[in-house]
């Protein structure tokens, strides 16, 4: 893929269609991703809003095989501890199939994370001792949308925080700029599409909060786990 092609790829995807069809892609091929594409999606992240235009983010693209294996080994341990209650719940006959599919995809990622070609670490400078997540998560969403536009698969996980300080030291991150999220990025084995969502009418209130409208959606959808 030439520099010109990378510059143009994804530019034609309509904004709202991209938003509606950006779902977590956890099954990824091990094929390498051009660094220019990673730069392109990270550039999209830098256009997120931030208070005072402080732009507190740092992006670390980990492609080195040994580092990816190091991350994956520790991720699997923390993920298994996190998943244990969900595994028990999944044994129930009335456990929703949609949640089972999500669980299977998350397990696949944990088992194959070492093969995912890019581990994009999102880190952020603290302010008054606290991470500026109000800026970091919009940046992450921009990156996920940009991955959708250029044809890359990606998902958001924070399970790495169980060994976050250790990872931060490995990556040379200062204490004032801890890692916040891990985005495994690669070429998708699946495809993008609209994720299951309840109608906006159950969430949108006019002039005042409507308890009856809210009761139609509260607790009725898929939940648990990282963003989908």
Q: What is the pLDDT of residues 27-45, one digit of tens each?
A: 999 999 999 999 999 999 9
What average pLDDT does the structure give for the chain? 89
**Coil vs helix vs strand at 180:** strand
CA distances from 74 to 28, 32, 49, 81, 113 (A): 19, 22, 32, 11, 10
Instruction: Tell me which residues of the chain have a pLDDT lower than 50.
Output: 222-228
Give the domains, in start order, of the chain with CATH numbers.
21-215 (3.40.109.10)
pLDDT tens for 138-159 read: 999 999 999 999 999 999 999 9
Answer yes or no: are the C-beta atoms of 139 and 122 closer than 8 Å.
yes
Beta pairing, strands 153-154 & 179-186: antiparallel
pTM: 0.88
């Amino acid at each position: 893929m030439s520099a010109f092609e990378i510059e143009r790829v994804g530019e034609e995807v309509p904004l709202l269609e991209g938003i509606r069809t950006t779902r977590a892609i956890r099954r990824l091929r091990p094929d390498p991703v051009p660094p220019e594409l990673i730069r392109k999606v990270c550039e999209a992240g830098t256009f997120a809003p931030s208070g005072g235009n402080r732009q507190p983010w740092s992006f670390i693209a980990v492609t080195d095989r040994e580092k990816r294996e190091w991350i994956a080994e520790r991720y699997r341990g923390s993920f298994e501890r996190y998943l244990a209650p969900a595994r028990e719940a999944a044994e129930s006959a009335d456990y929703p199939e949609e949640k089972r599919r999500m669980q299977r995809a998350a397990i696949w990622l944990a088992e194959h994370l070492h093969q995912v070609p890019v581990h994009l670490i999102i880190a952020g400078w603290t302010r008054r001792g606290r991470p500026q997540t109000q800026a970091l998560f919009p940046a992450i969403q921009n990156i996920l949308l940009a991955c959708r536009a250029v044809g890359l698969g990606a998902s958001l996980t924070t399970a790495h925080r169980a060994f976050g300080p250790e990872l931060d030291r490995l990556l040379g991150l200062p204490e004032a700029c801890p890692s916040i999220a891990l985005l495994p990025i690669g070429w998708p084995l699946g495809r993008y599409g609209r994720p299951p969502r309840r109608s906006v009418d159950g969430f949108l209130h006019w002039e005042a909060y409507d308890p009856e409208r809210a009761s139609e959606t509260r607790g009725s959808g898929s939940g648990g786990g990282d963003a989908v």
